[in-house]
Structure 1
């Protein structure tokens, strides 16, 4: 069976398809209008016809140009607003979204659920529930692409990227890399498995138990020596991490930033980029000393301290 329209399986896909259909209809209308005018003028002003060929009145010409230009400008602004409003929604995941960590590497997708369940080239999600993806690359530029969801997010090494989706159809859907990333780029593929909430809960419970990200991060926090500076009992003058995540932070250069995941990541890899006011830039960089998975764990641990009265390291 030949399908003239790709499968639609997410809320984002529905909105994207409406925009695509609207642009297709508009383009078809303009093409039909131009074609009709072309044929009409060709017949009316053919050689030997008695149609008048004098110059167009100046007033009519000016009004026509102003009207056509204004209509085109209004249409462009409307289309820009319409498409942008959909794109902006794709960057704002709901607060109740399930969080999944995704690491791209040559040539696979590694996914990690909040309870520690791990998958390679697969991602199981419940239908009708928003899923927030925190994406990182371990080596080169990749692109997380799910055609049925109309979801495509480039993943640049050294940066944290976020996107989200909400599946609307049960089934298995292709997960691809849409950015050439090396020799086996074409083999970097996986699948998104959309399940009922009950089946998803059963699947999640059946996965091998593993330490969750926060617990792994707590162990790394001590193992890598972070507790020697950031613990309450530390003699080194370093910022406290208890309750840090989500707070606003005053920097030494006068800027005010929010301690989100991107800020925490930069503080680990580029500690001299955003120095907290009142502290010396003495923290060493951990770039090249921590894997993407370890960075994820440390960030998760710091997030777990967001509502803690004291540092639990």
Structure 2
């Protein structure tokens, strides 16, 4: 079998089965709608190949219902497929709340995966069978696209912007992953493997590559190394917001707008600190654009995320009652 090209990859998830069913049904519909046209073309070409004198004395037969039906029936059939495919699209972009998050950094020409426990991989991703996995992805250079054929999923990975993808593989095995966006000279070599393991095998793999530093712990060390703790930790002498309880909370900005402190906001605050300044604080933070790479940013975000979130509090220097309820913000921003 290895000598033959695999035209249709195997299925490794329920989602892959749903996508294949959609494709096969749509192919069947296209054949059903187009085959009669081509069959009649061949039939009439053969039957009337010598020509035929047409009788034009009979009046035209204008059957409105017939003419309407061959327009409306295909339209409603296509509409069914539109609703069907839209449902699959929304399923793909709504990960379960308990999904395990894996950080992905794409760079020419490799994939770097970082597990919550600190285990890192290059061009190989180990996941447990039956567990929802959410990939939080960003590119360090150009546009890439993570493609997992056995799962029938693909997502562009962009520079300076996080994108996400989730899946739940239900069949243990090793499957191909690839870059589906031309990214340069060695684009065709930018591939790897998705390794789906049983729960026991995955636990053994985690133990084999266990590290004392989780992803959040690595971020905490980097946070202190960069000197961020001197401004953003409690008891610091400089006037800067705290990062404790920040992640996922609304932040009131100095321009009067409000933004949620997600991974994108934290990353932008580290690289472009003066673009979104927290209300009540001066724009004095330096940029770390040429200091921290994408992998370091992933660790810093993981550390801030590990500090949790709490109920909103007023920014420093803002008196109670001076902000509308929708503008209440946490006392925090990114380092």
2:22 pairs with one of 14, 19, 23: 19
Shift of 1:103: 1.2
Q: CA RMSD in A?
A: 2.6
Q: What is the number of equivalent residue pairs in this alignment?
A: 310
Match of 2:282 in 1: 280
User: Normalising by the residue count of structure 1, what TM-score does the alignment of the two structures yield?
Assistant: 0.89
Are 2:145 and 1:143 aligned? yes
Q: Distance in 2 between matches of 1:294 and 1:201?
A: 26
Matches within 5 A, 1:15-164: 15-39=18-42, 41-42=44-45, 49=52, 53=56, 54=58, 56-58=60-62, 60=63, 62-164=64-166
| Superposition deviation, residue 47 in structure 1 | 5.7
Deviations 1:14-67 (A, max 9, x none): 121111111111111112121244345556766665875555334x2x444444
Say yes or no: does 1:243 pair with 2:245.
yes
Q: Cα 1:49–1:160, aligned 2, differ >3 Å: closer, same or farther? A: same
Q: What CA distance in whole angstroms lies between the structure 1 residues aligned with 2:286 and 2:75?
A: 53
* TM-score w.r.t. length of structure 2: 0.83
| Mapped contact 2:173–2:197 kept (Cα < 8 A) | yes
When residues 224 and 308 of structure 1 are mapped into structure 2, their CA distance, relative to the original with a 3 A threshold, is: farther
Alpha-carbon deviation of 1:74?
2.9
CA contact (8 A) 1:44 1:51 kept: no
Change (3 A) 1:215 1:4: closer
Show the 5 A alignment for 1:247-262. Answer: 247-262=249-264
**Displacement of 1:87 after TM fit?**
1.4
Who is 2:322 aligned against? none
> Displacement, 1:172?
0.7
Cα-to-partner distance string for 1:189-231 (whole Å, 9 max, x where unaligned): 2111111111111111111424111111111112212122212
Q: 2:191 aligns with which of 181, 184, 189?
A: 189
For residues 84-122 of structure 1, give each alpha carbon's deviation from its aligned partner in whole angstroms, at most 9, with x where no partner exists. 221121111111111111111121111111111111111
Q: What is the alpha-carbon distance in structure 2 between the residues aligned to residue 172 and residue 250 of structure 1? A: 46
Measured in 2, the distance between the counterparts of 1:283 and 1:73 equals 57
- For structure 1, the 5+ residue unaligned runs are none
Cα distance in 2 for residues equivalent to 1:257 and 1:78: 38
Q: 1:11 to 1:281 in 2, by over 3 A?
A: farther
Bigger shift: residues 69-78 or 15-24: 69-78
Deviation at residue 149 of structure 1 after TM alignment: 1.2
Measure the CA separation in 1 of the matches of 2:53 and 2:224: 93
Other-structure match for 1:5? 8
The CA distance in 1 between the partners of 2:233 and 2:70, in whole Å, is 67
